[in-house]
Structure 1
Amino acid sequence: MADRSSVTVGVLGSYGGRNVGDEAILTAMLGRIRAQRPDAHVVLFSRNPDHSRTAHPDVEVVGWEGVCRERISEHLRRLSVLVLGGGGILYNTEARRYLRLVRTAQDLGVPVFTYAVGAGPLTDEADCAWIRATLSDAAEVTVRDEESKLVLEEAGLTRPVSVTADPALLLEPGDGGAELLRAEAVPRGVRLVGMSVREPGRAAEHLDEEGYHQLLANVGDFLVHRLDAHVVFVPMERDDMRHAHAVVSRMADADRCTVLHGNYRPQQVLDIVKELDLAIGMRLHFLIFAALAGIPLLPLPYAGKVFDFAQQIGAPALRGVVRETAGLLLAEVDRLWDERPARAAHTAARTASMRLRAAQTADRLLGYLDRTAPRPLIDSTVPTAASATG
Structure 2
Amino acid sequence: MITERPLPTSDPRIGVLGSYGGLNTGDEAILTCVLTCLRAHSPHASLIVLSRDAEHTRAHQPLANEVLHWEGVPHRQLHDALAGLDLLVLGGGGVLYDGEARRYLRLVAAAQAGGVRTLAYAVGAGPLREPDDREAVRTVLSAMDDVMVRDEESRLVLEEVGVERDITVTADPALLLPAEPFTAEMMAGEGVPTDTRLVGMSVREPGRAAEHLDEGDYHALLAGVADFLVRRLDAHVVFVPMERQDVRHAHAVLSRMAAPDRGRIMNGAYSPGQILGLMRHLDLVVGMRLHFLIFAALSGLPVLPLPYAGKVFDFARRLGAPTLVGVAREQSGLLLAELDRLWDEFPQRRPELVARVRSLQVLARETGVRCGALLDDLPSRSGVAPGSGQRKPPLAMGRT
TM range (shorter): over 0.9
Q: Counterparts of 2:158 and 2:329 in 1: how far apart (Å)?
A: 26
Alpha-carbon contact 2:220-2:329 (below 8 Å) kept: no
Alpha-carbon contact 1:279-1:298 (below 8 Å) kept: yes
Partner of 1:305: 311
| Correspondence list, 1:163-174, <5 A | 163-174=169-180
Q: Counterparts of 2:191 and 2:379 in 1: how far apart (Å)?
A: 51
Partner of 2:230: 224
Q: Counterparts of 1:69 and 1:107 in 2: how far apart (Å)?
A: 14
Tell me which of 35, 39, 45 is aligned to 1:40. 45
Alpha-carbon contact 2:198-2:238 (below 8 Å) kept: yes
Partner of 1:356: 362
Query: In structure 1, what residue type is equivalent to 2:318?
Result: Q
Deviations 1:68-100 (A, max 9, x none): 321101110110100000001101111111111
Q: Counterparts of 1:58 and 1:291 in 2: how far apart (Å)?
A: 26
Structure 2 unmatched runs, 5+: 1-7, 383-400
Q: Counterparts of 1:174 and 1:327 in 2: how far apart (Å)?
A: 37
| Correspondence list, 1:1-390, <5 A | 5-59=10-64, 60-322=66-328, 325-373=331-379
User: What is the CA-CA distance between 1:248 and the residue it aligns to?
Assistant: 0.1
User: What is the CA-CA distance between 1:306 and the residue it aligns to?
Assistant: 0.1
Structure 1 unmatched runs, 5+: 377-390
Deviations 1:284-305 (A, max 9, x none): 0000000101111000000000
Aligned length in residues = 374
- TM-score normalised per structure 2: 0.91
Alpha-carbon contact 1:177-1:268 (below 8 Å) kept: no
Q: Counterparts of 2:288 and 2:156 in 1: how far apart (Å)?
A: 22
224-233 or 119-128, which moves further after superposition?
119-128
Query: In structure 1, what residue type is equivalent to 2:121?
Result: Y
Q: Give % identity.
A: 58
SS of alignment partner, residue 208 of structure 2: coil
User: What is the CA-CA distance between 1:18 and the residue it aligns to?
Assistant: 2.3
Q: Counterparts of 1:270 and 1:136 in 2: how far apart (Å)?
A: 36
**What is the root-mean-square deviation in Å for CA atoms of aligned residues?**
1.6
User: What is the CA-CA distance between 1:328 and the residue it aligns to?
Assistant: 0.9
74-83 or 60-69, which moves further after superposition?
60-69
User: What is the CA-CA distance between 1:226 and the residue it aligns to?
Assistant: 0.8
* Alpha-carbon spacing, 1:245–1:375, altered in 2? closer, same or farther (3 Å): farther
SS of alignment partner, residue 203 of structure 1: helix
User: What is the CA-CA distance between 1:67 and the residue it aligns to?
Assistant: 1.8
Q: Counterparts of 2:171 and 2:366 in 1: how far apart (Å)?
A: 8
SS of alignment partner, residue 82 of structure 1: strand
Alpha-carbon contact 1:318-1:324 (below 8 Å) kept: no
User: What is the CA-CA distance between 1:375 and the residue it aligns to?
Assistant: 10
Runs of 4 or more, structure 1, over 4 Å off, are 373-376
User: What is the CA-CA distance between 1:50 and the residue it aligns to?
Assistant: 1.0
